[in-house]
A and B are shown apart, each in its own frame.
Chain A
Amino acid sequence: MLDSKIPPGKLEDKWNDYKGHVKLVNPANKRKLEVIIVGTGLAGASAAAALGELGYRVKAYCFQDSPRRAHSIAAQGGINAAKNYQNDGDSVFRLFYDTIKGGDYRARESNVHRLAEVSVNIIDQCVAQGVPFAREYGGLLNNRSFGGTQVKRTFYAAGQTGQQLLIGAYQALERQVALGNVTMYSRHEMLDIVKIDGKARGIICRNLVTGELERHFGHAVLLCSGGYGNVFYLSTNAMGSNVTAAWKAHKQGAYFGNPCFTQIHPTCIPVTGDHQSKLTLMSESLRNDGRIWVPKKKDDPRKANDIPEDERDYYLERRYPAFGNLVPRDVASRAAKERCDAGYGVGTTKQAVYLDFKYNLINKYGKTEAGKQGIENPDQETLIRLGKEVVKEEYGNLFDMYEKITGENPYEVPMRIYPAVHYTMGGLWVDYELMTSVTGLYALGECNFSDHGANRLGASALMQGLADGYFVIPYTLGNYLADEIGTKPIPTTHEAFVEAEKAVADRINKLMNIKGKQSVESLHKRLGKIMWEKCGMARNAQGLKEAIDEIRALKKEFWSDVRIPGEINEMNPELDKANRVADFIELGELMCIDALNRAESCGGHFREESQTEDGEALRHDDQFMYVSAWEYKGDSDWQLNKEELNYEVIKPTQRNYK
């Protein structure tokens, strides 16, 4: 059933061999083939640009007012690549190895190796486009370190890496729009996939300005619609990020891979109250220079700066001396939760730990700068002043953001941080060619399940999005479309389009006619609470079972009591939200079912029943060395398909960052 289409041959030759033998479409035929791309984040914009350049007729969609605003824009810290510019022992193999290990041995070797191979091309491509990466004084590219690795391989543009990469891809996309190869549909939301004879042949979308439903044909459909972290209501994702595109595909036959694999990011600004609409990330790159600690004394009433050095517990450095503050995210998040649950948390809510820059401000940056400027025996004040200048250049925008949100100055007092939902490793199941289990339907970027296993390493999502879009799909899509050159564009009057549009219209009518009492927002918040408490940082069988019941009840409530003001045929953000939340509720149920099924801990999925003596995640490779690919059978009804994972090159071991 599940054919992952991994090419034969040695791991390091697979991708090259594949490229050498893949079917091609000649330029004249490319012009006759239409490709739909849902989403214009790094994955979608890069795919649209690359496929437009090749000569395909591309139609791209996003729900924001411009493709440049996709959520990728918010990525802060950086993008990995195995360039080894630092001469510190990096290589394609090491990036591959780190990613597999970081993912706690739940990713496919072949995909991850390909990712590591093309990582180097990404940087070159972006530089050529004019992406202003950080540089050293010699004019060459600079790197920083990220969690879960011991080399410096992360390329960055201050704390705005995602923005600069996306602007690069967006400009390449707009260039193709100008050349007539790409048609852009902004403020459009895809609400269903149209299948004809088992193949994806188009989409139904809602024009968010007029409210009208539209039918669009494509020889193939690519979903690049991002992650579903907002199922938790509070997350670091943008407000509009949602699962709808992927979920509709799922209901049309695309399997959902590892839905329960969510990443909780250790360093986010803590929740302040019920009004909170989203959580803000403080980039992982800050862990390069910040040290994480809590007071050694419970409920210590003193201000952070008044607590002397020997009364601070740098618990990551204590527990994980080899990686220290740079352990992977799942490990760092659980360690923070552990300290807070044990009563050592700080701030008014006690649900926070300190991220402190003072030490490196003085010792690392201050002293180096003083050395550079030839200042001998600098005093503390000079060191702090010099250090601040460097930190400002590296992270200025993040520090400003922190101050705007909290009203505290992180140059003076340590940041207060707490873990928050950030990324979803799970997503649509895809084979080596990025095709879902629906023929002609592809998934790229965060919306697919591939590459990151049970935990994603920092700075690897941007890499994956751009790898998928610039370097993988241009080859693999051709392999499919080569057999479609005889297919004439199907008119959207075809009954499959008519029926799909009708189903979407019926659902919208149904939603609008409930006319209940509760707002979409309040129901979404409740879903988020269930998910966070029972399917969040720590999970257990009992809680998950309860969560499933609670979500089913919530679904009933939603469909009988939601209130959506306004009308259908106009701009109606409440209706947009309702469409999304209805899908989130169904997804939430599947996530809990998946988490319940996976009775092991791995990566970000921590089952309390399965831990080592010192509280680390304990895998059960004998039972769970597989990808869960869930097949939709009907309302609240799924069948589990398993893709066994075969490790031919790497030997899975208990992850150890000590």
Chain B
Amino acid sequence: MEHYTMNLTLKVWKQKNKDVRGSFETYRVKDISSEMSFLEMFDVLNEQLVHEGKEPIAFDHDCREGICGMCSMYINGRPHGPWHGTTTCQLHMRAFKDGDTIVVEPWRANSFAVIKDLIVDRGAFDRIIQAGGFISVNTGNAQDGNNIPIEKEKADQAFAAAACIGCGACVAACKNSSAMLFVSAKVSHLALLPQGAPEKRTRVLNMIAQMDKEGFGACTNTGACEAVCPKEISLENIARLNKEYLGAAATIDK
């Protein structure tokens, strides 16, 4: 792999807190190595800002391994930037070339208020899980794990859905700010497993009700979410959710 360095122009959203309006600011960074991660490039910029006596840019991040779901930058018009199936923290500077201008914004959605600069409030996702994204089993009651054989294919599908990291890129990509991909991933994960069956109906109804209450928009099946999802959560999950929802809505009034 050939490495190179580059000089870049960055247009980054700055916003002091949720009550004031933000705006873009322009920064320049030099000698960025193609081996750096995108966030390491931001580290360089922030070090530079601290040395200049300016306030660094606030952004969310933690694991930097693409798994915690914390990082969330809208890069050149795309959540998590240009690489397919990749979080912001796993995006590397090889994706850019010398002289590029990169525009970086926070997730934009009514349900995700900007807290500062590139940081948004994704608390709505936790509340959707509280509405039903679990299996009601208290600690200490479990039977032997191997008493519940699960068809490998089903288990694999449940795993694929459970891979969602709750980052919110799907919402940010959607013109309606729908959270359907996120919700459907959880509904699918649990509905595909026999352990999740007893609460199947209430789960999907309650989660959808909470999603609506949080102000996420409707799903019009454009697929923008799937295209940007760093964990490649499939639209099939939305189809499954719709099926579950219709089934549940039809049988719920007992």
Contacts and interface: CB of A to CB of B under 8 A. Distances in A.
Interface of A: 46, 49-50, 53, 64-69, 71, 73-74, 83, 85, 121, 123-130, 132-141, 157-158, 160, 162-164, 167, 170-172, 174-175, 177-178, 184, 186, 209, 238-240, 272-273, 275-278, 280-281, 400-401, 404-408, 470-471, 474, 519, 521-522, 563, 565-566, 570-571, 573-574
A74 B65 contact: yes
Contacts of A170: 129
Given A83-B145, A132-B155, A141-B145, 9 more contacts: A124-B145, A129-B137, A132-B162, A133-B155, A139-B152, A139-B155, A163-B163, A174-B134, A471-B140
B50 interface: yes
Nearest to A85: B146
Contact of A158 (B152, B159, B196): B159
Given A123-B145, A565-B54, A128 B135 contact: yes
Interface stretch (B117-125, B218-226, B239-247): B117-125
A128 B142 contact: yes
B143 to A, nearest CB: 6
26 contacts: A65-B119, A66-B69, A66-B126, A71-B68, A74-B63, A126-B145, A127-B148, A128-B141, A128-B143, A132-B189, A133-B155, A138-B149, A160-B163, A178-B131, A238-B68, A401-B65, A404-B86, A404-B90, A405-B37, A470-B140, A474-B139, A519-B50, A521-B46, A565-B53, A570-B17, A571-B58
Contacts of A177: 126, 130
A563 B159 contact: no
B140 A239 contact: no
A280 B40 CA distance: 14
Contact of B139 (A49, A133, A171): A49
A566 B142 contact: no
Contacts of B140: 50, 121, 125, 470-471, 474
8 closest residue pairs by CB, A with B? A139-B149, A171-B134, A124-B142, A132-B159, A128-B142, A407-B1, A127-B145, A178-B130
Contacts of B47: 519, 521-522
A74 B66 CA distance: 9
B43 interface: yes
A38 B124 CA distance: 22
A563 B131 CA distance: 44
Contacts of A141: 145-146
B61 interface: yes
Interface string B22-59: 00000000000101110110011011011101111010
Contact of B40 (A121, A276, A570): A276
Contacts of B139: 46, 49-50, 53, 125, 172, 470-471, 474
A48 B173 CA distance: 34
B62 interface: yes
A242 B124 CA distance: 27
Contact of A407 (B94, B138, B195): B94
Contact of A136 (B56, B91, B122, B152): B152
B190 to A, nearest CB: 5
Contacts of B150: 135, 139
Interface in B192-211: 193, 195-196
B144 interface: yes
A69 B134 contact: no
A275 B193 contact: no
A601 to B, nearest CB: 31
B116 interface: yes
Contact of B142 (A68, A121, A160): A121
Contacts of B145: 83, 123-124, 126-127, 133, 141
Contacts of B115: 209, 571
B68 A64 contact: yes
A404 B64 contact: no
B165 interface: yes
Contacts of A277: 37, 39-40, 43, 64
Contacts of A49: 139
Contact of B143 (A69, A124, A470): A124
B67 interface: yes
B16 interface: yes
A404 B166 contact: no
B158 interface: yes
Nearest to A469: B139
